[in-house]
Amino acid sequence: MTVLVTGGAGFIGSNFVLDWFARGGGPVVNLDKLTYAGNPANLEGLTGNAAHVFVHGDICDRDLVRRLLEQHAPRAIVHFAAESHVDRSILGPSEFVQTNVVGTFGLLEETRTWWEKRAPSERADFRFLHVSTDEVFGSLGPHDPPFSESTPVAPNSPYAASKAAADHLVRAYHHTYGLPTLTVNCSNNYGPYQFPEKLIPLMILNGLTRKPLPVYGDGGNVRDWLYVQDHCAAIRQVLARGRVGESYNVGGNNQKTNLEVVNAICALLDEARPNRKSPHSTLISFVKDRPGHDHRYAMDSTKISSQIGWKSAESFDSGLRKTVAWYLDNPDWVAHVTSGAYRHWIEKNYAMRGEA
């Protein structure tokens, strides 16, 4: 009853693996390339757990994928592995095409070849669950209804385009070959173990060290925020009860402007680490917007709620409070991930922006 997880040392993947074992899930084979965002320290809680098999490798290595499928015969694949940061995709789109498109294609091909050799009962029970993003749908206007599963795909960044391509491949492998696939498109995740190039951990860590808090444009871009453990619960439920060949939107129902998010973080930091000279909000610095910055995302989660019964457990306030507390309580993890290459990239990215 093994599950193969790709990208299980990354932010969402590691939270999923940790939560899977915490809830009594079966064995996991965890395949991760360990790029800058994949961190073995995320999985330290599983040290000595014989049911967790970590494999350092790339989904683009089809020979490796083939061997893992043949050796472990997983009942499901949960596919997180991806390059996932819009800013990085603007600076270097080729890695996004290689991992998100070519890698997903190779994984699908090896899975299909292996799956077609299985007994009919095993084929029927198998699932390939692909984890995607709301960014494939493009941008919403201020008064547009939220994205549904039938919203036309309209990606606006190299990252979003690469994920949309992967979504199309997953859909095609179900309709062409009968591979039992499922897709989850999620809104912006936040929570423990998130690499601090993303908005929430970047603002927390910059705030703690009294560095500027760089906000793109006027801070008016809107995102629907989803606590990562709510997302993990949705994935587990879709894996167990989702209808084969379908996709499910997963949102937190928490639409906030970037500036609202940053101010909320500042308020929590003022509470936890007060500074008598000035509140953390005085560190906010508006910088030049990034190219093609989508104005608004919002997700309609009616389908997953009505068909499967999932709903988010955390409000934005409760999830953000837990997230800030986690970063405050884990300085060793923070020190490790914010060294070297991370600092170089942050300097490069924001030096390009300057003041707004």
H/E run at residue 28: strand 28-32
> Which position among 32, 58, 110, 159 bears the catalytic label?
159
Contact 170, 108 (CB under 8 A): yes
User: Could you give the maximum distance between any two Cα atoms of the chain, in Å?
Assistant: 69
Contact 134, 186 (CB under 8 A): yes
Catalytic annotation present for 135 = yes
Could you give the 3-state DSSP secondary structure of residue 82? Answer: coil
> Which position among 32, 58, 134, 230 bears the catalytic label?
134
* CA–CA dist 54, 165 (Å, integer): 28
Non-local (6+) Cβ contacts of 226 within 8 A are 186, 187, 188, 189, 190, 250, 251, 252, 254, 312
> Which position among 83, 135, 224, 314 bears the catalytic label?
135
Catalytic annotation present for 159 = yes
Q: How would you class 95 by CB atoms within 10 Å of its CB: exposed for 0-12, middle for 13-18, buried for 19 or more?
A: middle
* CA–CA dist 107, 327 (Å, integer): 34
* CA–CA dist 281, 78 (Å, integer): 39
Catalytic annotation present for 347 = no
Residue with tokens 């894996």: 239
| Half-sphere exposure at residue 115, Cβ-oriented, CA atoms within 13 angstroms | 23
Tell me which residues are annotated as active site. 134-135, 159
